[in-house]
Amino acid sequence: MRDETLRLSLPAAGAPTERPIAIAVVAMGGQGGGVLTEWIVKLAEDQGWVAQSTSVPGVAQRTGATIYYVEMMPPLDGRRPILSLMPTPGDVDIVMASEFMEAGRSILRGIVTPDRTTLIASNHRSLAIAEKMAPGNGIADKSKVTDAIGVTAKKKIIFDMDALAVKARMPVRGRSMPRSGGPKREMPPLFPSRRIQDQRQSCPHRRTIIG
């Protein structure tokens, strides 16, 4: 894969400062990306760190993919850091994608880089509209994403999140959506356990939504 990153030889504006931990979560509607983001922020704040999250909702393809972005770091000498609102190519430490092609989209966006990023992704598929509309077999080739991950990610953790969630009776996809390529199955109850609901209610931090 050709590296088309634009590099400018500009002098440093000042002394280097500590970098925040940057996490991008890419999830489709109903998969709990917002809840996961709240848990991450709550974990950081409980340790005395400053944390900020933003989200950019998607409206196209399947249920629309939303990018959740979190930056967090400890305060320095009592001063609160200024954190970014959007992921920048080359500056993201962890990318989590709840569907395999969304992992591929993250690579196309440039937020998965070989010198920095750990990619945590599910290898199950939820077919896009174009894949469903194509005559015959229009399913995209997963091997291209697999090859790209091997080139662009510093470290990869790939597993079937959908199968794990179904086994735990907590699906990561729409309740009425059948598994790609298989028969429709009876889904678990719509509402999660009381313990999960309590965890959601214990995350009152504010989140910025960019439209």
For 51-93, how does the pLDDT look when each residue is reduced to its tens digit (9 = 90+)? 999 998 776 555 567 899 999 999 888 788 889 999 999 999 9
pLDDT at 121: 94
Across the chain, what does the average pLDDT equal? 78
Which architecture characterizes domain 21-191 according to CATH?
Answer: 3-Layer(aba) Sandwich (3.40)
pLDDT, mean of residues 187-202: 48
pTM comes to 0.69
Those residues with Cβ within 8 angstroms of residue 72's Cβ, 6 or more apart along the chain or in another chain: 20, 21, 23, 40, 41, 44, 49, 50, 51, 52, 83
| 8 Å CB contact between 153 and 104 | no
**Residue 145: its H or E element:** helix 142-152
Number of Cβ atoms within 10 Å of the Cβ of 189: 9
* pLDDT tens digits, 109-156: 999 999 999 999 999 888 877 788 888 888 888 888 999 999 999 999
Q: What is the pLDDT of residue 188?
A: 47
Residue spans per domain, the chain: 21-191
Q: Between these two residues, 188 and 56, which has the higher pLDDT value?
A: 56
Contact residues for 142 (Cβ-Cβ < 8 A; gap 6+)? 100, 123, 125
Answer whether residue 1 shows pLDDT above 80. Answer: no
Q: In the structure encoding, which two tokens stand for residue 24, read together?
A: 């991008």
